[in-house]
A and B are shown apart, each in its own frame.
Chain A
Amino acid sequence: MENPNEHIDFLESGPLAPLKKWSAKWSLWPCHFITSCCGVELAHAFACGYDGERLGTLNLGISRQSNFIIIEGTITRKMARALKFVYGQMPDPKFVNVIGACGERGGIFWNSYNITHPSDIVPVDFFIPGCPVTPESLLRGVRALQDKIMGVDKKTIEFKKVELPFEEKLEERMVPTSPKIYAPTPEIKVDVKRVVDWDFGKELEHTLRKELKGLFESITITGTNTIAIRTTPESLMEVARKLKGQMNFDHVKSVNVIEVPHERKYIVEYMASSYSVEELMPVLITIFTEIGIKNPKIQSLMSVWEGANYSERELHEFFGVWFEGNDWMGKKFLLAPDTPDLPLRKEFKIPEDRYVFEKDVEPEFMVPIEPPKDLYTPIWEEFIEEAYDSDEIVVPIGPHHPGSGHLRVTFRIKGDRIVDALPEPGFVHRSMEKLAENKLYIQNIPLFERLAINDPVNMNLAYVRTVENALGIEVPERAQYLRTILAELSRIEAFYYDAGIFSLFFGHTTGFMYCMAIREMIIEPLMHISGSRCGPSFIVPGGLRRDISDDVLGMIDNITFAIHKRAKKFESIFVTNPVTIARAKGVGVLAKEDAIRCGMVGPFLRASGVNYDVRKVAPYEAYDKLDWEVTTGDDGDCLGRFLGRLEEIRESVKIVKQGVDVVKGIKGPILSEDILGEYKEASSDIKGNFFRVFGNIVLPKGEWTTITEAARGTTLFTINSDGESNVPYRVRVMSPCWMNLKGFMEAVKGERYADFWAVYGSFGYFPPEADR
C-alpha cells in the first residue's frame, strides 16, 4: 500500500474537483461482496428498517460497477484472495469500510488460524466496531466516508481523558495468571458408563450385542439416548453395515476425530441415528475406534452413509486422518492452500489470551498475520479438463457474485442444464472448533452464537444445553418457557431471513424488503431483552442472564398478532405470485430416500416427507408442554421446502403465543440453584456475579452430545471433557447447513442453470453456519 489516500487525491485534482467529490460522496455503491455474518446487518441497513439508499448508497452489480467495498467481518485466508481480486477489479476511485470486530483486530476470532486482517490486504478508509455492527453504525461509517471524501476531517468519537484516582502508591503487585486450567495429561474417554433410567436403551443394547456379535469390543450406555460401541478399525465398516442394514440406522449425524497426543492415538467416531424407525429416532449410536497417531488410516464409511462424505474430507484436513475410500483425500476442501497444516492437532498452538499490559513492552494489540501473497485459488483440474473435453462449459459462481453469498460452486453446464456441481465451502471457516478448545466454557457462548447470527438463540441454546446435559442441571420452569419463546422467535427470524434471500434470488426485492421488515419487528423484543440485535448471548447454563419483564412479554404477545398483517402482504406479493410458483414448483426435487441418504436435517428433511423434528422426537425445554405440530411435505421441491417453512413460522407463532400466556403465570427464578451455588441472590439477574458463577465450570469426564432443533435443522454439539480442565478438550459442531450441503448439491444436479438460485434459496444455506 504505497499511498492509501490515492483515491482521495484523485478526487482533489483538476478544476472539476468539487463536482468529482460531490458525485463520489453521494454515489457510493457497495458491491455484493458479503464476507461473513455481518452481512445480515448489512441487509438490514439497506432494507426498509434503515434504507441505506437514502444516502445514495445502492447495492448494485459487482465490483466492476461499484466503487465501495463494505467488508463484513471476518476475512478468512480463502476470502482474502477474493478480496484482493475484487479490490483489483474495481475502477478507481474506490473506498473500503470494514465493519465488525473480526475485520479489525479479529474480534472473537482474533487467534484463529484461518483469518487475516483486511487492513493488510487493502487500504481501509474506516473501521466500524461491533459484533455484529448495528445498521446505524454501518450508516455512520458511510457518513464518515462521505465527510472524508469532502475533505472534512472530523472524529466520530471524542474521548475525554480523566486522571485516575491516586491515593497512595502501591508497591509492585503480582500479576494474576490465566484463569484457564489445562490438565497436563488429560484422560479422554468416549464411553463413560452412566446409570440412566432408560428401558428401551437396555433392550437396544441387548439387540446390538446380538446383532454385532464378535464385531465390537464393548457396548456402553453413556446417557439417555446415547450408546457407544467400541470396535476395531478393521470391523468398523462391518459394524456400520450391520447398523444400517439390520438395525435401520440410516444416516450419520456426526463424524468426529479426537486426538490424544500423549497416548499416541486418534479416536475416530461416527454417530448414527435413524429416520425410518420411530423409536430409534432419538437414539444416537456412537461407533468409535482408536488408531495410532502415525500414518492414521481408516476405512471411509462414505459407502455406507453418504452423509459422512464432507465431514470426512474436513477431518482429513484438520487432523490428517486418511479415510480410505473417500476420493478427496490429499486435497483441500474447507481450508485455503496457505492455512497451516493439520490445525486441529494439539501440537498446533494458537496465541494465548493476555490479561495485562506488560511493563515496558510495546503492547501488540494484533496478532500479526501474514496475508496470502498469491492469488492462487485452486479449481479442480480434472473437473475442468473433463468438461472441456465434452461440449460443456465451466461456470464458477462466487464468492463474489450478486447471488452467491460466501460460497463457491463450480458448475459444468451443458446447454442450460447443470451436469455437475462442485461446492467449495470454507470461505467463512473461522475455526470455531479450535478456538473453543482454548476458551472457558462460558466464553464459548458468544463464539458459537456466531455460527448463525440470524438464528442466534437456537445456536446459543444448542451449546448451553450440551453443557447443562453434562452438568446435570435442571432449568427452572420459568426459564424453560422463556427459552422456548426466545428460540421460537429466533426461528421465525431465521426463516424470514431465508425467505427474504429466496425472494432476492428470484430478483424480487420487494419480498426481501418485506421479510426484513418482519425481522425488524422480531428483533425489537430481542433487543429489549438482551440489548443486542443479533447476538443476544442471553442463554447461559442453568437459565437466562436476567428475567424478562412483563412489558417485553406483552410486546412479544402483540407481535404474535401483529406479524400476520405484514406476513399477508408478503404472501400476496411473493408467495402466491404465479411467477414464484412457476419458478419453484417441481424444481430441485429431493426424494425421501435421497434426503435420508444424504443425511438432511430440519425443514428440508421434513419437506421430503420424513416426520422428524427434535422438538418432538426428544423434547427439550417446554416443547412437550405446548400444543404444536410438526410440518412435513411430500413434494421435496423448492416450493415445498419454502412453503413448509412458512407453515413452521405459523406453528412457531402458535408456540410463542402459548408460551407467553403460560409464562405470565409462572413466577420464580430464571437461574437454576444447581449452578448458582451460594450466589442465590442472582437467581433473577446474574449481573455482578457472572464470572463468579460461570467462570470455573468444569464438565465431568466423558463425551457429551446433545441434539437441538435450530431453525435450519438439527444442531449437534459434542463436547469432550477430561474432568479437570475448565476448557473443553474438543468440541465438535455439526451445524444444519453443513449437513444440508450434500443434499443441496444433489438437488442442483440436472436442473437448469437459473434454478441453482431457486434451490439455493430454498435450502436457506447460510455459509457461516456451514463453515463454522
Chain B
Amino acid sequence: MIDISGLISTIMNNSVNIPLLYVIYEFLLKIPVLGGIVAFLLDFSILGMPVVKSIIGFVLWKPFFTLIIIPGFATLGTMLLVLPWLERKLVGRMQWRVGPREIEPYTRGSIQLLADTFRFLFQEVIIHKDAHKHYFLQFPFLYFIPVLLPLLFINAGAAGHPLVPIQTDYALQIMIALVSLMPVFIIGAAWAANNRFSFIGAVREAFMYFAYEIPFIIAVLAMIVLYGTSNTAEVISGVNQSSWLNWGIILNPFAALTFFIAMAMATSRLPFDIPEADQEVAFGPFVEYTGIVFGLAYIMAYEKAYVLAAIMTMLFFGGGSGPVIPYLGELSYGIWFVVKTLIILLVLVNLRGVYPRYRIDQALSIGWGAMLTLALFALVWSVVVVVVIGVII
C-alpha cells in the first residue's frame, strides 16, 4: 500500500514556494460563486487524494518544476520561439528597418517563428541520392541528447534556494563534457550529407572546435578554482554571489570574456559563423537539409547557445540572484535567471549586426593565441583572487 499522504507531504515540502498563489487563492475564495467552485475543486478528492491540489503540488515539486519549467524544457522552448524573433526584430531595428511585422498585425509579428516552424513542418523532407540516409536523418535528432542533458544541471536559483534538477559535485564537468559532444553530431550530419560545402563546413567546424574548446574549458576551470566547487548549487552560493560585487564577472572578467568569445565560436555566431558561413559554404553542414530537419538544425545553435548562456549566468552573473520580488517567492530567482540568460543571448545574437565574419585561419589564431593566453591568465588571476580573499577573510 502506497503511503499517499506521505508522498504528498514529501512533494509539498520540496516545492517551489510562491506566495502569490495563496494570495490568488484567498482572493478567489472571496468571489461569491467562483469561490465556491474553487473551494470545491481544491477539496475534491478521489480515494482520499485531493486531485487538483496534488496536480498543482506536483507541478511545483522542485525536481519536476526545475526540469520541465524553469530552467528546463519550457524555458528552452520559449527561448527557441522568442529568441530568433527577437534577433530578427532587434537586428532589423539596428539596420533601419522593421523585421517581421505584418503577420497578424495586432501581434506585431511576434508569432513569425510559429509560421516558420509550421511551414518547415509541412514541407517535404528530401533525402538526396548521395546522402547516407540513416545518419543523415538521425544526427539532427541525436543532437538533442547533448543539448537536453545539460538542462539537468542548470541551477536557476540563488544562494540557499537552488532550483536545479540534479545536484552533484561534478555538474560543471558533466555539462562541459556534454557541450563538447555537440560538434561531433554536426560533423556527423555533415559527413552524412555528402556534399562539398558540408564537407568544407565540417572541416571548419572541427578546426573551430579545437580552437575554442581549450580556452573554454580553462575559463570554466578558472571559475571552479575561484569558487572551490563545481556543484552548480554551490557555485551560486560559493562566494556569496547574492551581491553583484561578488559576481564572477567582477571577480574574474578575463574568464568571462574568454567564455563569451568561446560561446560565440561554439554557437557559430558572427563574427565566428565560419562553419555555417552563408555566403561561403551556404550553411555548411546543413546545406542539404530540408523541411523540419533543417528547422531542427537551424535551432541547434540556439539550443546550444541557451545552455552556454545558462552556464555563463551561473558562473559570472550570480545565477538567479537578484532582489526578491514580493509574492513570487522562489519563483523570482527563476525569473531573474531567465532575464539574465536572455540578455546574454541577445547580446550574443545581436553581434550579427555588428561584425563581419573572420576567416578560418584568423579565428584559429584568435582561439589558439589571444583566447588561450587570456584563459591561462584568467586561471592565474583566479588563483590570485582566491589567495587574496583567503588572506583578507
Contacts and interface: CB of A to CB of B under 8 A. Distances in A.
Direct A–B contact present (CB less than 8 angstroms): yes
A757 interface: yes
Interface string A458-491: 0000000000000000000000000000000000
A24 B279 contact: no
B27 interface: no
A64 B199 CA distance: 17
A53 B92 contact: yes
B294 interface: yes
The size class of the interface chain B forms with chain A is 35 or more
Interface size range of chain A in the complex: 35 or more
B241 interface: no
Contact of B116 (A27, A89, A753): A27
A507 to B, nearest CB: 4
Nearest to B196: A395
B287 A62 contact: yes
A212 to B, nearest CB: 50
A507 B277 contact: yes
Q: Is the interface of B mostly helix, strand, loop or mixed?
A: loop
B119 to A, nearest CB: 4
Contacts of A11: 122
A509 B122 contact: no
B271 interface: yes
Given A65-B289, A67-B119, A583-B358, A513 B279 contact: no
B279 A51 contact: no
B125 interface: yes
Nearest to A411: B196
Contact of B280 (A22, A48, A62, A754): A754
B356 A54 contact: no
Given A48-B95, A416-B360, A513-B97, A402 B279 contact: yes
A91 B126 contact: yes
A64 B359 CA distance: 25
Nearest to A24: B119
Contacts of A27: 112, 115-116, 118-119
A51 B196 CA distance: 33
B112 A56 contact: yes
B359 A754 contact: yes
B205 interface: no
Nearest to B96: A48
B63 interface: no
A306 interface: no
Interface in B90-136: 91-92, 94-103, 109, 112, 114-119, 121-126
A506 interface: yes
Contacts of A755: 359
A510 B350 CA distance: 11
Contacts of A93: 122-124
B99 A54 contact: yes
B125 A91 contact: yes
Nearest to A502: B356
A414 interface: no
Contacts of B115: 22-23, 25-27, 56
A757 B96 contact: no
A409 to B, nearest CB: 13
B118 A54 contact: no
A755 B88 CA distance: 27
Contacts of A23: 114-119, 121-122
B288 interface: yes
Contacts of A235: none
B280 A510 contact: no
Contacts of B358: 579, 582-583
A405 to B, nearest CB: 11
Contacts of B199: 393
B279 A505 contact: yes
A507 B353 CA distance: 9
B126 A507 contact: no
A64 B280 contact: no
B247 to A, nearest CB: 28
A84 interface: no
Contacts of B117: 23
B385 to A, nearest CB: 30
B286 to A, nearest CB: 8
Given A507-B277, A510-B354, A53 B200 contact: no
B123 A583 contact: no
Contact of A64 (B112, B118, B290): B290
A61 B282 contact: yes
B123 A67 contact: yes
Contact of B356 (A16, A61, A508): A508
B283 interface: yes
B193 to A, nearest CB: 10
A53 B361 contact: no
A16 to B, nearest CB: 7
Interface in A737-753: 752-753
Given A20-B122, A48-B96, A577-B356, A416 B361 contact: yes
A184 B199 CA distance: 60
A64 B279 contact: no
Contacts of B280: 403, 753-754, 756-757
Nearest to A413: B200
Contacts of A654: none
A753 B204 CA distance: 12
A580 B353 CA distance: 13
B43 interface: no
Contacts of B101: 54
A409 B126 CA distance: 27
Contacts of B116: 23, 27, 56
B270 interface: yes
Interface string B188-226: 000000001101100000000000000000000000000
Interface in B50-67: none
B302 to A, nearest CB: 15
B273 interface: yes
Contacts of A62: 282-283, 287
B294 A65 contact: yes
Nearest to A394: B196
Interface string A576-614: 010110110000000000000000000000000000000
Interface in B253-298: 270-271, 273-274, 277-280, 282-283, 287-291, 294
A507 B269 CA distance: 11
Contact of B99 (A53, A91, A752): A53
Nearest to A508: B356
A514 interface: yes
A503 B290 CA distance: 28
A670 B226 CA distance: 79
A504 interface: yes
A768 to B, nearest CB: 20
A92 B294 CA distance: 14
B100 A53 contact: yes
A511 interface: yes
Contacts of B94: 510
A508 B355 contact: yes
A67 B200 CA distance: 25
Interface string A112-138: 000000000000000000000000000
Contact of B96 (A64, A393, A403, A513): A513
A13 B217 CA distance: 52
Contacts of B123: 67, 91-93
A218 B136 CA distance: 71
Most chain A beta-carbon neighbours within 10 Å: one of B119, B121, B358, B360: B119
A276 B106 CA distance: 66
Nearest to A396: B196
B204 to A, nearest CB: 9
14 contacts: A26-B115, A51-B97, A55-B103, A58-B88, A64-B288, A91-B126, A92-B123, A395-B200, A401-B282, A403-B279, A509-B95, A579-B271, A583-B362, A754-B274
Given A25-B115, A91-B290, 7 more contacts: A24-B119, A93-B122, A394-B196, A507-B357, A508-B355, A510-B91, A582-B359
Interface pairs A-B: 4 shortest CB-CB:
A403-B279, A23-B118, A506-B356, A27-B119
